[in-house]
Amino acid sequence: MSDRLPSNARPSNFEIVCRDGLARLGRLKTLHGTFETPIFMPVGTNANVKLMRSDELRRIGATIILSNAYHIAVRPGLEVIQLHGGLHRFMAWDGGILTDSGGFQMFSLKNFRKVSDEGVTFVSPYDGSKLFLTPELSMDIQRTLGSDIVMVLDHCPAIDADYKEAFDATRRTHEWAERCLKHGIKKGQLLFAIAQGGAFEDLRRASARHLSEKDFDGFAVGGLSLGEPFEMTLRLAHATVSELPDDKPRYFMGGGSPRTIVELVAIGVDMFDSVYPTRLARHGTALTSEGRLNVKASRYRKDLSPIDHRCDCLVCQNYTRSYVHHLLNRGETLAGMLLTYHNLYYMFRFMERVRKSISEGTLEEVRREVGEIYEERRGDTADVLFVDYDSLGRRG
Ligand SMILES: [Zn+2]
């Protein structure tokens, strides 16, 4: 089934250009471009980054986005994607696509699934239909989607799972990772493993060590950013990352506030995804050079300044806070569109700055500054997470 070459016969897809402490500036090569890391990937669960067109994403600097194999397989269904020749054509996006396997939905849709060692049965929250997802099927789905980066099917335990539960989920994650590797993907696609381990440092280390011995193209830190205290996120992520191979990309799943990014880049993480900027935008909050700005607040009703004085995006060049405030007040869709555009623009400029600081050896300065303007609340996306934590889960 697999036409995957053994690792010693494949050219390396990841190269570290320079370092600043543990932080790395790298280049990751995929079928749809070579991306500089550390990188932020906006989330497009339903084959769209909410309120952004693909050409706009491209124009403001997005190079790779995240989508979700499980959700796309359910709606619109793989036959529709096949008609288009893949997910790229379907959503008119010629950049990179990383697809999550469906493992996270075992966490977020916990009332709609049944897990065994063989796989997981999902009951569609839309119409009650069943899908039996196995590691092998997850690989087939992501092969059909044509994802540039394929994630293994994993079992993501709740962050408050006890030791036995976390241990079992981790063991299952390892077995499934092996099955994914054995089943194989398309030539040129990259396959990433996901380290689990719940809230337990020893399990996290063991998971990272175990997976590191296998022939994956990259490794993810899974099962964090689920609402746990920030200090715990960092401690557990560090336990995982410190056991991962140095020469492969490391991806922190589901975390992407400026603070989370800069703290994790500093311990050697290369890739991030989060609904943070887009979901905040839809709730009326802008990311700015001075921290978060709640544009809904009545003090902006007559404020003629741009969202962010230091931003040169199309929104900040043309619209006032007063106008966006008005749109939010009237529940106009354009408010979310303008803020989404600005917030993503902000994130891509922020990532450029992080990368530049690594090459100049000044990441510590950025870290200090971000620490001052972006105080971390509980977890990374937790405070936005629970605003509309609907049946589609966090990656919506
Ligand atoms: Zn702007």
Domains of the chain: 7-274 (3.20.20.105), 281-373 (no CATH)
Reported as a pLDDT band with limits 50, 70 and 90, residue 379 is very low
Higher pLDDT, residue 20 or 129: 20
For 220, the enclosing helix (H) or strand (E) is strand 218-221
pLDDT (mean) for 267-277: 97
pLDDT given for residue 394 in this prediction: 38
- Give 324 Cα–ligand 1 centroid separation in angstroms: 12
Predicted confidence at residue 393, as pLDDT, reads 36
Say how many Å lie between the CA of residue 343 and the centre of ligand 1. 7
From residue 20, alpha-carbon distances to 74, 252, 265, 269, 364 in Å are 43, 19, 10, 12, 9
- Is there a catalytic annotation at residue 380? no
Confidence (pLDDT) at 8: 60
Confidence of residue 106 (pLDDT cuts 50, 70, 90): confident
* 52 CA to centre of ligand 1 in angstroms: 15
b/e string for 104-120 if b means 16 or more Cβ within 10 A?
Answer: bbbbbbeebbeeeeebb
Mean pLDDT of 150-165: 96
**Would the pLDDT of 396 be above 50?**
no
CA 113 to ligand 1 center in whole angstroms: 41
Active site residue 100: yes
Could you say which of 100, 148, 308, 380 is catalytic? 100
Nearest Cα to 75, choosing from 358, 328, 392, 337? 392
User: Given 20, 140, 270, 273, which residue is catalytic?
Assistant: 273
- d(CA 262, ligand 1 centre) in Å: 21
**pLDDT, position 217:** 98
HSE on the CB side for 280, CA within 13 Å? 26
Supply the pLDDT for residue 9.
Answer: 64
Distance 216 CA to ligand 1 centre (A): 38
* Residue 376: per-residue pLDDT: 67
Residue 299 has pLDDT above 50, yes or no: yes
The pLDDT assigned to 2 comes to: 56
Ligand 1 centroid to residue 338 C-alpha, Å: 9
pLDDT classification of 125: cutoffs 50, 70, 90: confident
Q: Which two tokens stand for residue 149?
A: 């980066």
pLDDT digit string (tens) for 304-329?
A: 999 999 999 999 999 999 999 999 99
Measured between alpha carbons, how far is 241 from 255 in angstroms, rounded to an integer? Answer: 15
pLDDT tens readout for residues 160-206: 999 999 999 999 999 999 999 999 999 999 999 999 999 999 999 99
